[in-house]
Amino acid sequence: MTTSDLVEDAAGHPQLAKLEQNMARIEALTQRVMAAFAHKRHVPEALQGPSQELYMKAAMAYWNEAAANPAKLFEQQIAYWGKTLTHFAEAQAALAKGTLEAPEDHTPEDRRFSNPMWKTNPYFNMIKQQYLINSEALAKGVEEIEGISDLERKRLKYFGAQVVDMMCPTNFLPTNPDALERAIETEGQSLIDGLENLVRDLEAHDGELVVSLADGSAFKLGENIGTSKGEVVFRNHMFELIQYTPTTDQVRDIPIVLFPPWINKFYILDLKEKNSLVKWIVDQGYTLFIVSWVNPGPAMRDTSLNDYIEDGYRTAMREVKSICGTETINAVGYCIAGTTLSLTLSRMKQQGDTSVGSATFFTTLTDFSDQGEFSVFLTDDFVDGIEAEVNRTGVLESFYMARTFSYLRSRDLIYQPAIKSYMMGETPPAFDLLYWNGDGTNLPAKMAVEYLRGLCQKNKFADGGFELAGDVLKIDEVDVPLCAIACETDHIAAWHASYAGVQQMGSKDKTFILSESGHIAGIVNPPSKGKYGHYTNPDMSGSADAWKAGAVRNDGSWWPRWGAWLAERSGEMVPARTPGDSTHPVLCSAPGTYVAAAPLEGE
């Protein structure tokens, strides 16, 4: 029987007819899904998961332990069997009452299972409880494996958890009550909309499943996002330099040049007026410049960290000094841009260049001895794979970085958005932060390998010195007055590691601030929100935990505290500066052209 036959049979039942029509549309969309998968991009095996060596070593350790201590293996299995049989018996007993009630549920709260049916419906409750029992057994089994290193255990726990999260019953239509209820309510329209969302995402990413987190049509740079007034006053092959239009009659003499990470784009600091750090800095009476990095393509395969330092940082500093007529500037580096700012300051120290009067570091790592959650991706199996891929293509594509960041928070950045978009048929939200998160950039091949090998893996900057273009750059040569802001729940640049790096710097004038929240929300935290507080403690002589134990918690944003710190190092008030000068004509208005340009092509 064909779909048309079913529709004809359902002619007397409007709701059934509508459902069958939607089923026919599903068939057509399914063909588009299969066509998109047929053109799926090639992802090297080395970048799809850890090497088989990790699993083989874990398996050998497990069976060796089973042979040496079989009682432990039986204890684990019996505990698992016991919980499973108890759960089954309780479910059977509840059903035997004839009331179709679920058994008593003592499982912990989990927002994935917020629908009441997970507790009240015996079918869904049975599935949920068994899933959680299975998850617990797997986690405990990994935790108790002996004969492997701490890093290997950490990697097994991480990748094991990824498998467990992937198999969560909420990720499948037949075992997701929210999606099933929505499908019935909409006569199947939610499934149609979901498939259309799925097809759109697959076709937009060469058959690779990349979940859209935000409605891309809702934002346009310079119109409703990245709208602070300014002008591009300098451009080279590495960056555009944006000088923002003053909003006060007078400004501090010493200008600020802010270096954002080139893994993402600068407008995270200028999403919209009410949470724009750019606008806030300008409103405090500062001349602010921001570097907008070019998005590298294969033509930039040989661009190195040294190029970022010389053609990026030091060139920007030189042009800012020229425009403002000052001998010094105040520099700010965010994330990897803070790491590279510290390398730049080491070289400048060696060369006697005193252009930087103070440095501010946002969520910056300079000591990589504690790699945090990223340690699972920084072993040779992954880094070897990355090196091979960038040597082939010329760049580390934003696709790989975005996927890595997403899997560090897979429930929030993969599975929940996928459920809402593909099973519930919801349109991705018009959320500026998520829109920015999806607007990634590539990394040049040479620079990516230098960063991963020399800094992340070998920790050369903090341990012996990082060799770069004939220089040996060292962390203790960073001796300018500095202020470092770390974030308490940052999963990218763990605050303990950030503190350790600042502690080793040679500056006599150090301020360390710990903001509540994470890598983005802890930085983009305007005073008007009154949301996240911050910790301060002038004593950095002890460990990070000792610093936190002795710190004072302060309500509200750290921005005003930093502003007061910066004011003391920014000179007297002078008449406000309009963007550019006679030798730096305005090239275009902010946010510039590089922020929206496609990657540079070339061999």
At residue 402, what are phi and psi to the nearest 5 degrees? -60, -40
DSSP state of 581: B
Strands 466-468 and 471-473: antiparallel
Active-site residue, from 335, 456, 483, 487: 335
* Residue 216 within any structural domain of the chain: no
With beta carbons less than 8 A apart as the criterion, state whether 294 and 217 touch: no
491 with 398, same domain: the answer is yes
Of residues 242, 263, 264, the one with CA closest to residue 316:
242
Report the alpha-carbon distance of residue 389 to residue 380 in Å, rounded.
14
Active site annotation includes 483: no
Of residues 564, 554, 504, the one with CA closest to residue 533:
554
328 with 396, same domain: the answer is yes
With beta carbons less than 8 A apart as the criterion, state whether 562 and 485 touch: yes
pLDDT of residue 339: 98
170 with 268, same domain: the answer is no
* Residue 15 within any structural domain of the chain: no
Q: How many residues does the chain have?
A: 603
Residues 496-527 have pLDDT tens digits of 999 999 999 999 999 999 999 999 999 999 99
* Residue 225 within any structural domain of the chain: no
Residues 6+ apart with CB under 8 A from 5: none
159 with 243, same domain: the answer is no
Q: Say how many CA atoms lie within 13 Å of 361 toward its Cβ.
A: 34
Q: How many domains in the chain?
A: 2
Q: Which residue is listed with tokens 């498998």? A: 163
Residues 6+ apart with CB under 8 A from 256: 281, 286, 287, 288, 289, 329, 330, 331, 332, 566, 570
The last residue of a domain, from among 153, 175, 197: 175
Residues 6+ apart with CB under 8 A from 543: none
Alpha carbon dihedral 343, 349, 355, 356, in 10-degree steps, equals 60
User: Structure tokens of 5?
Assistant: 């036959």
Q: Which residue is listed with tokens 């996927």? A: 403
* Residue 101 within any structural domain of the chain: yes
State which residues form the domain around 544. 230-589
Report the alpha-carbon distance of residue 584 to residue 323 in Å, rounded.
7
Reported as type and span, the H/E element at residue 573 is strand 573-575
Helix axes 14-38, 189-204, angle to 10 degrees: 10
pLDDT of residue 193: 92
**What's the whole-model pTM score?**
0.88
Q: How many other CB atoms are found less than 10 A from the CB of residue 52? A: 11
* Residue 481 within any structural domain of the chain: yes
With beta carbons less than 8 A apart as the criterion, state whether 434 and 214 touch: yes
Residues 201-259 have pLDDT tens digits of 988 887 888 899 999 889 999 999 999 999 999 999 999 999 999 999 999 999 999 99
With beta carbons less than 8 A apart as the criterion, state whether 509 and 481 touch: yes
Q: Where are the alpha helices (DSSP H) in 224-373?
A: 277-283, 305-307, 315-324, 336-351
* Residue 32 within any structural domain of the chain: no
Report the alpha-carbon distance of residue 423 to residue 198 in Å, rounded.
9
402 with 469, same domain: the answer is yes
DSSP string, 255-279: -EEEE--SSS-GGGGGSSGGG-HHH
Q: Give the CATH number for residue 362.
A: 3.40.50.1820
Q: How many other CB atoms are found less than 10 A from the CB of residue 279? A: 21
For the chain, report the end-to-end CA distance as a whole number of angstroms: 55
Report the alpha-carbon distance of residue 156 to residue 209 in Å, rounded.
24
pLDDT of residue 5: 47
The last residue of a domain, from among 159, 175, 191: 175
539 with 457, same domain: the answer is yes
pLDDT of residue 12: 54
pLDDT below 50 — which residues of the chain? 1-11, 603
Report the alpha-carbon distance of residue 8 to residue 228 in Å, rounded.
59
Report the alpha-carbon distance of residue 244 to residue 227 in Å, rounded.
11
Helix axes 52-68, 150-166, angle to 10 degrees: 100
pLDDT of residue 403: 84
pLDDT of residue 7: 43
425 with 510, same domain: the answer is yes
Of residues 440, 438, 437, 474, the one with CA closest to residue 455:
474
362 with 260, same domain: the answer is yes
pLDDT of residue 8: 47
109: burial class by Cβ within 10 Å (0-12, 13-18, 19+)? exposed
* Residue 198 within any structural domain of the chain: no
Report the alpha-carbon distance of residue 221 to residue 218 in Å, rounded.
10
439 with 535, same domain: the answer is yes
169 with 294, same domain: the answer is no
* Residue 557 within any structural domain of the chain: yes
The last residue of a domain, from among 175, 194, 218: 175
Long-range pairs, 343-347, Cβ under 8 A, ≥24: 343/305, 343/309, 343/461, 343/466, 343/468, 343/473, 344/309, 344/313, 344/314, 345/477, 345/478, 345/479, 345/480, 346/461, 346/471, 346/473, 346/474, 346/475, 346/477, 346/478, 347/309, 347/468, 347/471, 347/473
Residues 6+ apart with CB under 8 A from 54: 152, 155, 156, 159, 381
342 with 418, same domain: the answer is yes
